[in-house]
Chain A
Amino acid sequence: MQINRDINILVVDDFSTMRRIVKNLLKELGFSKFDEADDGATAWPMVKTGKYDFIVSDWNMPQMTGIDLLRHVRADEKLKDTPFLLITAEAKRSQILEAAQAGVDGYIVKPFTAATLNEKIQKIFERVAERQKAQS
């Protein structure tokens, strides 16, 4: 499936190194429009503008966690369908279930590879396309 690479992506992580790695990998996959946020709390006002087509977020951040950011997004009528990918070191079974319950579209555990990221993005956008097809 051909993915639209001309989309706005928000990368949220409290470590700048990680944001840079994710951005570089996304660039390699052909994406080019990114913004960054260093916490869920800084990300949320940005997300609310409605600019982003895809959110990639860490879980463990000081002010607002990624899972809380996800819940905020899902609870907002206008934003609730935004694809959301968690990239995190959290790997407890109960946490993955919690993320699934909150409505995550993909879950990648750190450290990860470019291939994993590619695979998850592919899968997420396939599902988005299916969802849109079903709705239309």
Chain B
Amino acid sequence: MKQIDKQIVLTLLDAVEQEDQGRVADLLDELTRIRETQIYQQLEALTKNLHETLDDLEVDAPILLHAKHDLPDIAERLQYVIHETQAASGKTLQAAENLSELLEELTLADDVSLEAAKQLKQQMNSELTNIMLAQSFQDLTGQVLNRVILIVTALEESLKNLIERSKHDFEKIPERRYSEEEQKAQESKGMGPNVTRDSKQGALDSQEDIDDLLSDLGI
């Protein structure tokens, strides 16, 4: 492969000094050509490496199986979790609202007969049972989420493996950095609850901490 050497640079410098524009243009073209060839060759090597890595994989390699079977599953499983938690909070809220109405009934009635009180108690008990039963979602979604965690962890392992087989050093992949503006834009958009160790950085722990900060600002 032709390299950019000292000679060609000196010739270019010489042409610039002699103000030989035609020659300068030719030499620059040549330099660009050499550079482009180098880039193409590097790209070719990379692609070849990737192909070889993929060819090396057996058809039943974990990463291929994950891609075909597990990944489409994950979205469906998570959708299920969203649906079930939403349904459960809907049921719980409905029961709590009904209970609140029943209590109101009791407060507004001047004189409640024993029979009516018994009936109210029965209705309230049934709402309380509804609240308890609605919590059974936790068992189901817990199982589904545990399965998702297993799949994601296995997938992470397979991907790491693939990266290393394609002769990249996983440990050397740089940290993800955001510029101050990018960070600010993300925060402005809202990032949801800070649940990971990373996202907890710079987050206040409690309502009291927030109140203190706001009170310092006169709010």
Contact = CB atoms under 8 A, between A and B. Distances in A.
A95 B188 CA distance: 7
Given A17-B93, A100-B219, A65 B207 contact: no
A89 interface: yes
A72 to B, nearest CB: 14
Nearest to A127: B219
A61 B219 contact: no
A46 to B, nearest CB: 20
B93 A96 contact: no
Interface residues of A, number: 31
Contacts, number: 75
Contact of A89 (B97, B189, B192, B214): B192
A21 B93 contact: yes
B125 interface: no
B8 interface: no
A106 B189 CA distance: 19
A129 interface: no
A22 B97 CA distance: 13
B185 to A, nearest CB: 11
A83 to B, nearest CB: 12
Interface string B168-197: 000000000000000010011111111000
Contacts of A80: none
Contacts of A54: none
A19 to B, nearest CB: 10
B213 interface: yes
Contacts of B41: none
What is the interface residue range for chain B against chain A?
A: 20 to 34
Given A100-B214, A107-B214, A60 B97 contact: no
Contact of B187 (A94, A105, A109, A112): A94
A94 B202 contact: yes
Contacts of A107: 210, 214, 219
B131 to A, nearest CB: 14
Interface in B80-95: 86, 89-90, 93
A92 B90 contact: no
Interface in A75-112: 88-98, 100, 104-110, 112
A100 B217 contact: yes
A88 B207 CA distance: 11
A94 B181 CA distance: 13
15 contacts: A17-B90, A59-B190, A60-B190, A60-B191, A66-B190, A67-B190, A91-B194, A91-B203, A93-B203, A94-B202, A95-B188, A96-B204, A100-B217, A100-B219, A109-B204
Sorted from nearest, which 4 A-B pairs have the closest CB atoms? A60-B190, A89-B193, A17-B89, A91-B203
Given A92-B202, A92-B203, A93-B213, 17 more contacts: A17-B89, A20-B93, A24-B96, A65-B189, A88-B190, A89-B193, A91-B204, A91-B210, A93-B203, A93-B204, A96-B210, A100-B214, A104-B219, A107-B210, A107-B219, A109-B210, A110-B193
